[in-house]
């Protein structure tokens, strides 16, 4: 039951933080309907990260599994983000296209990074507390 509630609260906290960052970026960049993709992607990242960390908590050594899951989730996310930037620059590297597309890329990247980091920190904190409670009790 502890794993379920940890995942639920991490989902809510990290999803809220990612959504707030996406909202702030939308206001700061004067975004229009293209930011709908950013908000949908932010929710998708939150669901995927919640599933990854939920599974990591079910292992025999949840502290190590959560640390590994967090590290690899960040690595994969940053690699995909760099691939997206490279794809944009490869297709059309004119200054107007880059200036138009980079706010959306930042909107895809920053909320996702914030979501992953906050989720990782919260789950890591809860897992360490759970292991300490089991050892003490």
DSSP of 83-96: HHHHHHHHH---HH
What are the C-alpha distances in Å from 37 to residues 11, 33, 60, 84, 121? 20, 8, 37, 14, 26
User: Global pTM?
Assistant: 0.89
The Cα 30–Cα 32 span in angstroms is 7
Written as six digits, the tokens of 54 are 């939920």
> How high is the pLDDT of residue 94?
75
Contact 122, 10 (CB under 8 A): yes
User: Which DSSP state fits 61?
Assistant: S
Task: Write out pLDDT tens, residues 78-128.
Answer: 999 999 888 888 877 677 777 778 888 889 999 999 999 999 999 999 999
Give pLDDT tens digits for 80-89. Answer: 999 988 888 8
- What are the C-alpha distances in Å from 103 to residues 31, 37, 61, 100, 111? 8, 12, 40, 7, 12
Backbone phi, then psi, for 117, in 5-degree steps? Answer: -65, -45
Query: Tell me: the pLDDT tens digits for 46-62?
Result: 999 999 999 999 999 99
């Amino acid at each position: 039951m502890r794993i379920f509630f940890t995942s639920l609260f991490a989902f809510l906290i990290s999803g809220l933080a990612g959504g707030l960052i996406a909202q702030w970026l939308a206001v700061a960049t004067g975004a229009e309907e293209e930011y709908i993709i950013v908000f949908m992607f932010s929710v998708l990242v939150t669901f995927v990260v919640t599933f990854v960390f939920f599974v990591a908590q079910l292992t025999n050594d949840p502290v190590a599994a959560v640390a590994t899951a967090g590290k690899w989730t960040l690595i994969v996310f940053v690699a995909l983000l760099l691939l997206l930037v490279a794809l944009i620059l490869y297709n059309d590297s004119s200054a107007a296209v880059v200036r138009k597309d980079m706010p959306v890329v930042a909107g895809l990247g920053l909320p996702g990074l914030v979501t992953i980091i906050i989720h990782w920190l919260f789950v890591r904190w809860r897992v360490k507390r759970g292991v300490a409670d089991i050892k003490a009790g």
